[in-house]
Chain A
Amino acid sequence: MSALRNGESAESAESADTGVADDGRGSSGPLVELTDIEFGYTATPVVEDISLRIDPGEYVAIVGPNGSGKSTLMKLILGLLRLDEGSARLFGEPSHAFDDGARIGYVAQHASASKEMPITVREVVKMGRFPHVGFGRLSAEDHRIVDEALATVGMTDFANRRVTKLSGGQRQRAFIARALAGEADLLVLDEPTVGVDAESVDAFYDLLEALNEEGITILLIEHDLGAVTNHARRVVCLNREVYFDGPTDEFAESDALARAFGTAASFTGGSGGGRA
């Protein structure tokens, strides 16, 4: 499934894709397709020579040491940053022009959201429905989906709590519920378990797996190599360039990790080689 990852496959994939145009989950076109991309905040590239294709139904983890360009790559995939070179496509459209937010669920490191704002867990989860309702009001159906998402992450009793009063793990559950409420085809998670208690982490990965079995494509940016090797089906190991891209079990046997991290990183070390 991960065999098509270089330029030669891109063209055929693209022509196949134009035929199915907007159709989503059922189509065989790639959700994400990067071709020879390069990007740098300054003259020095942060990521270069990266080609990557993610098909519907995959469960992909991107790993790499701090400063390896993981988060940058994610922003390029989502079209939050503009490429210097190459092309990035999301659901067959150029990433930066893609605007059907209902198809993507996004969970960031919790640091990104406003910290002092008075807002309840339910209000946060309701945001997941905003791409579906636009300028309109949330319908009874939308509220039902919100309640369901809250129940799925075990936060029903916290629905009317102020987000600022929650622990890190509880906050993160709220953000995951928001992504679930969006009913997206592609879930993008940027180190979602930072600050989450160990027990919830396991349950959280089980949840991701269940979602993946439902047919939702998952793209996970992770520091925790143990979590990645236990759960993801495919690993992309990154340090400015792609060091490895393939099934998880092959990754464990390869020397890509040592090359990318440059140290004796191991799978048993929990948060592995990077976190300073």
Chain B
Amino acid sequence: MPVELFAVLQAGPLDAVLAPFYWFLALWSDLLFVVGDATGLGFLDYRFMHRAILVGLCIGVMAPLIGTFLVHRQLALIGDALAHTAFAGVAVGLFLNGVFSLGVSPYLTAVVVAVIAALLIELISEATDAYNDVSMAIVLSTGFALGTVLISLNAGGLAVGINQYLFGNLSTVSAENAAILLVLFAVIVGTVALTRNQLLYVTFDETAAAVSGISVTWYNRVMVMLTALVVVGAMQIMGVILVAAMLVVPVAGAAQVSRSFSESLLVSVVLAELAVLLGIGASYYGEATAGGVIVLFAVGIYVVAVAIGKIQARAGDDATPELGSIESSDL
């Protein structure tokens, strides 16, 4: 393993890249202190909560953003598979840190491993012409198995910290990890903003997209890589096991009540943010694991959305507009 690479990763350039994000974090923290003073919300007195809220807000945007493209292609489970390989990435990071006494954030190695796994899944599906649950299940279990083996290999001190990756933890979101997440967030949102037309076309109608000159293969690769990034970013709070829920549940809820695609994107982000904020608040006061509470809120919101969708379907939409005739004459 190229030790130098990791040495470089943890040293200078990374800090230089992250510097503006640290500055932003400090600013954000100051803002929340003010908000805390004004509202009297006790949990806003802690810097770690400030970071957790910021990370949560980012997750609430990027997870449903990517999830919308996945869910409507019946790829909901890919997030789960990638989360488990990201866990292997965490284990690799911890292992390297243990053996070579480096100080690399396990989230960075998780990014690398998850992106490689994402490409692997994509290449397998290209070769076999289908995303099948079997290959997904194999990648998922391989990732998790690799993770557990690596962790047990240098057992002792390492096994202690593993819960935070499995279940997520609000209080362990360090400034560095929050900064990494902000970078991931910028990459993800930027990429989707740039390629939204192509991603939408490929999601809705792959064949027509291919005919219209869009390289379906490349956009599929971009999509799975973005998914890997989201999963690693969201893992800090949600944990490996629950991270996929944020990709799927708010999107499923939004699909119940939205008519247009842009509306469904917006609604899914709103639902996700609602779940994140309620979940973080409730978990602080209830002293429960944030990831689980957030997902429970998200599922609750989903159930409400289903009910609203049913009522909408029954109440409105009865008035069918007149179908015009096909006009070949005015060409």
Contact = CB atoms under 8 A, between A and B. Distances in A.
A114 interface: yes
Given A106-B207, A114-B204, A101 B214 contact: yes
Contact of A117 (B204, B208, B330): B204
Given A118-B261, A119-B260, A157 B322 contact: yes
B259 A120 contact: yes
A101 B212 contact: yes
A101 B211 CA distance: 6
Interface in A98-138: 98-102, 104, 106, 108, 112-114, 116-120, 122-124, 127, 130-131, 133-135
Contact of A78 (B211, B215, B263, B317): B211
Contact of A102 (B73, B198, B213, B264): B213
Contacts of B200: 123, 127
Nearest to A216: B331
A86 B226 CA distance: 39
A151 B328 contact: no
Contacts of A134: 197
Contacts of B204: 113-114, 117, 119, 124, 127
A218 to B, nearest CB: 13
A131 B260 contact: no
Contacts of A4: none
A80 interface: yes
Contact of B210 (A80, A154, A173, A200): A80
Interface string B82-116: 00000000000000000000000000000000000
Interface residues of B, number: 41
A113 B205 contact: yes
* Size band of the interface chain A makes with B: 35 or more
A123 to B, nearest CB: 5
A56 B90 CA distance: 59
Interface string B257-293: 0111111100000000000000000000000000000
A205 B259 CA distance: 30
A152 B331 CA distance: 8
B195 interface: yes
Contacts of B4: none
A130 B201 contact: yes
A211 B195 CA distance: 32
Contact of B197 (A118, A130, A214): A130
A135 to B, nearest CB: 6
Contacts of A151: 324, 327
Interface string A59-88: 000000000000000000010100000000
A99 B142 CA distance: 38
Contacts, number: 136
A178 B254 CA distance: 25
A241 B197 CA distance: 39
A154 B260 contact: no
Contacts of B212: 101-102, 104, 106, 127, 130-131, 182
A106 B211 contact: yes
A139 to B, nearest CB: 13
B35 to A, nearest CB: 34
Given A106-B208, A113-B204, A119-B261, A214 B317 contact: no
Interface in A160-179: 160-162, 165, 170, 173, 178
A209 B204 CA distance: 29
A243 interface: no
A252 interface: no
A49 to B, nearest CB: 25
A127 B208 contact: yes
B39 interface: no
Nearest to B196: A135
Interface in B44-64: none
Given A119-B261, A207-B328, A158 B321 contact: yes
A145 interface: no
A203 B326 contact: yes
A104 B206 CA distance: 15
A156 interface: yes
Given A113-B204, A130-B198, A101 B213 contact: yes
B121 interface: no
Contacts of B323: 154-155, 157-158, 170
A204 interface: yes
B134 interface: no
Contacts of A98: 213
A209 B327 CA distance: 12
Interface of B: 72-73, 194-195, 197-198, 200-201, 203-208, 210-215, 254-255, 258-264, 317, 321-331
24 contacts: A99-B213, A100-B213, A102-B212, A106-B211, A116-B72, A118-B261, A120-B260, A122-B260, A127-B197, A127-B208, A127-B212, A130-B198, A130-B212, A130-B214, A131-B213, A133-B197, A135-B195, A152-B327, A154-B324, A157-B321, A158-B321, A170-B323, A200-B326, A203-B325
Given A114-B72, A120-B260, A210-B331, 15 more contacts: A101-B212, A104-B212, A112-B206, A113-B205, A117-B203, A123-B260, A127-B204, A127-B205, A133-B197, A134-B197, A151-B327, A154-B323, A157-B324, A158-B321, A211-B331
The 7 closest A-B pairs by CB, nearest first: A101-B213, A154-B324, A101-B212, A157-B321, A210-B328, A203-B326, A106-B211
